[in-house]
Amino acid sequence: MKIVKLKKTNLFLFLEIISKEADFWAPVKKSPDKHIFEVIEDFSKINLDYTRTILPPKKIMLPSDFNMFQASNTKYTPDFSHVSKKIIFGIHPCDIHALVIMDKFYSHEYNDPYYQKARDNTLILGHSCWPDEYCMCKSTHTHVVKEGYDLFFTDLEDTYVVWIGSSRGDDLIRLKPELFDEDLTDKDIQNFSQRREERDKAFTNDINFEAMPDLMELKYQNLLWDKLGEACLACGSCTNVCPTCNCYNVEDKPILGKNCSNISRCWDSCTLENYSGVAGGENFREKRSDRLKLFYTHKLQSYISKYGKPACVGCGRCVVTCPVDINVYTVSKSLDNEEVDTFWNRLSKEVTK
């Protein structure tokens, strides 16, 4: 791995140079505790002091609604207008891990060109972060990154240690090599290690993800699922904010007055009522609890069985988003027999009173 140094005062200069021909996405503050990824032109709007954005960067690769084809009877013309040259700056390790999971998923058996083209045209410039009480990435081993990015900036007071993760990342550095210092001093290395140690200690959550596949299997009929099903609003927020949720629907939208259609693809959610409905009124997962089981089978079990790691990257978005406290943290803890303070536990206490 090639590692260089950049003075913080030179950051904007560097971004200026590399972002000339690309949409530049970065975290922006929307309210005291809400951040989002947005296309920006004025770098002073970048806010790197954030923990997680509302929506993950998947919205940049595959927007919540985009066109797959312009279709007529005689031709289905692929539409790649959602693809453009992009740079995502300030993306955290968990979200980079999510992209690596997506890379695997979208190339498994069939290659999804809508994802692939967007990914190929996007440069990933990661940035270090500091955990809050909801981050679970240490338990999912996604708090550090080794792949999936072009450059990764670790914040060390007045400098960045910049990890070069790809040949394209190396090209970026070469656009203005004089901004970078190739010699890391002993002091730099010491600072880096110290930061790493302190950050490791700052994690407050510990979830035993290794135990989850077996627990999911053993507790598949557990009453816990009924409680969750009763509380769930089937709102789909958890899947929208999750960086590794990828389900979608396809819609044929006729263009008025013409004999053609836009075939569009929009995010869908396994928590929604009709997700598994088929013709004849049959619905394989009519119950909310059954749909939540599918979500948690995906996050905590199937991916681990297939790829050896969970499909959850521990970003904590579901934790801060679900209005009734159904999230990877509370569900894992409950499966592991720990008492957690949640809306649904309070609800069932109310009921038994």
Partner 1 sequence: MNGENKIKAPANPFQPEPARIVRTYPLTDDVNFFQIRIADMEKALSFQYQTGQFAMISVLGAGEAPFSISSTPSRPGLLEFCIRKAGTVTNALFQMKENDLIGLRGPYGNTFPIEKMQGKDIVIVMGGLGAAPLRSVLLYLLDNRDQFGRVLLLHGAKRPAEMLLREEFFSLKEREDLECYLTVDEDDTGEWPADVGLVTQLFKKLGNINPENTFSLVCGPPIMYKFVLKEILKLNIPKDQILMTLERRMKCGVGKCGHCAIDYIYTCLDGPVFTYWDVIHMRELI
Ligand X SMILES: Cc1cc2nc3c(=O)[nH]c(=O)nc-3n(C[C@H](O)[C@H](O)[C@H](O)COP(=O)(O)OP(=O)(O)OC[C@H]3O[C@@H](n4cnc5c(N)ncnc54)[C@H](O)[C@@H]3O)c2cc1C
Q: Which positions touch partner 1 (CB under 8 A)?
A: 68-69, 71-76, 78, 105-114, 166, 220, 246-252, 254, 259-261, 268, 270, 275-280, 282, 284-285, 290, 294, 297-298, 301-302, 305-306
Q: Residue 294 binds which entry of partner 1, ligand X, ligand SF4, none, with Cβ cut-offs from 5 to 8 Å by kind? A: partner 1
Q: Which is nearer to ligand X, 281 or 308 (CB)?
A: 281
Q: Residue 95 binds which entry of ligand SF4, ligand X, partner 1, none, with Cβ cut-offs from 5 to 8 Å by kind? A: none
For 151, 159, 163, 314, the CA distances from 11, given in Å and listed in that order, are 13, 9, 15, 29
Q: Which is nearer to ligand X, 113 or 236 (CB)?
A: 236
Chain residue whose CB lies nearest ligand X: 279
Closest approach of ligand X to the CB of residue 273, in Å: 8
Q: Which residue has the tokens 């008492």?
A: 339
Q: 195 CB contacts (<8 Å, ≥6 apart)?
A: 128, 154, 156
Binds ligand X by CB under 6 A, chosen from 1, 256, 279, 351: 279
Over the window 118 to 137, marking each residue x when it contacts ligand SF4 by CB under 6 A and - when it does not, the resulting string is: ------------------x-
Residue 111: alpha-carbon gap to chain centroid: 20
* Sign of the CA dihedral with 15 first, then 18, 24, and 25 last: negative
Does residue 234 interact with ligand SF4 by CB under 6 A?
Answer: yes
The helix or strand, by DSSP H or E, that contains position 261, with its residue range, turns out to be strand 260-267
Q: What does the CA dihedral 150, 155, 156, 160 come to, rounded to 10 degrees?
A: 40
- Beta-ladder partners of 267: 248
Stretch that binds ligand X, among 173-181, 246-254, 277-285, 326-334 (CB under 6 A): 277-285
DSSP state of 301: I
SS3 label, residue 46: strand
Q: Which is nearer to ligand SF4, 135 or 164 (CB)?
A: 135
DSSP state of 158: T
Does residue 235 interact with ligand SF4 by CB under 6 A?
Answer: yes
* Sign of the CA dihedral with 27 first, then 51, 137, and 242 last: negative
Closest approach of ligand X to the CB of residue 207, in Å: 36
Lateral strand order in the sheet of 248-255: 75-78, 65-72, 260-267, 248-255
**What span, in angstroms and rounded, lies between the C-alpha atoms of 138 and 141?**
5
Does residue 254 interact with ligand X by CB under 6 A?
Answer: no
Stretch that binds ligand X, among 97-105, 239-247, 274-282, 306-314 (CB under 6 A): 274-282
Q: Among residues 192, 196, 147, 143, which one has the least CA distance to residue 169?
A: 147
Does residue 91 interact with ligand SF4 by CB under 6 A?
Answer: no
Binds ligand SF4 by CB under 6 A, chosen from 314, 330, 332, 344: 314
Does residue 256 interact with ligand X by CB under 6 A?
Answer: no
Does residue 300 interact with ligand SF4 by CB under 6 A?
Answer: no
Binding site for ligand SF4 (CB under 6 A): 136, 232-238, 241-244, 271, 299, 312-318, 321-324, 326-328
